[in-house]
Amino acid sequence: MTTAPGLLARGPWSPEQVTTRWSPAHYEAPAAATAAADAAVAALAERGSPSHDGLSARLVAHETDADGNLVLDLQPVRWALRLVEGDASASVAALCAVRDADGRWLAGRRAAWLASWPSRWALGAGGAVDVGESPVDTLVRELQEEWAVEPERVQGEALVQLPHRMVMFVGQAWLAPGAEVTRDHEHDAHAWWPADVADWPAEADEPLRRMATLLAGAGA
């Protein structure tokens, strides 16, 4: 896939509107990318990260049909290729922005040992799409794994390709009134940021503010 960075597709999509077609053929990376992935995994081990290699998803193609449904063609890819500087091989990750019944945003500070965005504040939950999985299911799974909570409602919002060829499936989830979260070991702090992005604390960086502003009116 050679699509330029930027917005690939825009929802919202209900879970039923997202279809994945998995290829049985694994992605064969160039030798240079494989060597760079090996080095990246070794560097993680040297700094004590328990991150492990494996398989995840790579975006081969996508389309939106006449009814607004999103169809994703995916194939298995080595997880560590997403760590290659400048070229993540179109690896797919899912990001789930989480809001409570009052519209507040769940923010968590990522642990220092993590492979991506260590020690930075992030919204909600996120992670790699597993082989055979729909990115919508990834949103729910990551929310359960990272925050031990089930969403009341979830939807896909956008498909985005970053400059280093990481593809992000961005979604949003809403929790039921009274729902409580329990953070996992991948976060060392968390907070509920106000519904109005203008009232967010100083640790909320500009990319997070921009994303939340775009999502604020979607399905609220």
Does 115 score more than 80 pLDDT? no
- Asked whether residue 52 is domain-assigned, the answer is yes
Average pLDDT along the chain: 93
Q: What is the mean pLDDT of residues 33-38?
A: 96
Would you give the DSSP letter of residue 9? E
- Asked whether residue 220 is domain-assigned, the answer is no
With bands split at pLDDT 50, 70 and 90, how would you rate the model's confidence at 105? Answer: very high
With bands split at pLDDT 50, 70 and 90, how would you rate the model's confidence at 142? Answer: very high
Does 48 score more than 90 pLDDT? no
Q: 155: domain range? A: 6-215
- Asked whether residue 181 is domain-assigned, the answer is yes
Percent of the chain past pLDDT 90, that is, above it, reads: 85
With bands split at pLDDT 50, 70 and 90, how would you rate the model's confidence at 218? Answer: low
The closest of 105, 121, 102, 96 to 197, measured between CA atoms, is: 105
Does 2 score more than 70 pLDDT? no
- Asked whether residue 86 is domain-assigned, the answer is yes
- Asked whether residue 66 is domain-assigned, the answer is yes
* CA-based radius of gyration for the chain: 17
State the SS3 of 58-124: EEEEEEECCCCCEEEEEEEEEHHHHHCCCCCCCEEEEEEEEECCCCCEEEEEECCCCCCCCCCEEEC
Predicted pLDDT of residue 220: 47
- Asked whether residue 46 is domain-assigned, the answer is yes
- Asked whether residue 128 is domain-assigned, the answer is yes
pLDDT tens-digit profile of 154-171?
Answer: 999 999 999 999 999 999
The CATH code of the domain that includes 184 is: 3.90.79.10
Does 180 score more than 50 pLDDT? yes
Does 52 score more than 90 pLDDT? no
Does 216 score more than 60 pLDDT? yes
Number of domains in the chain: 1
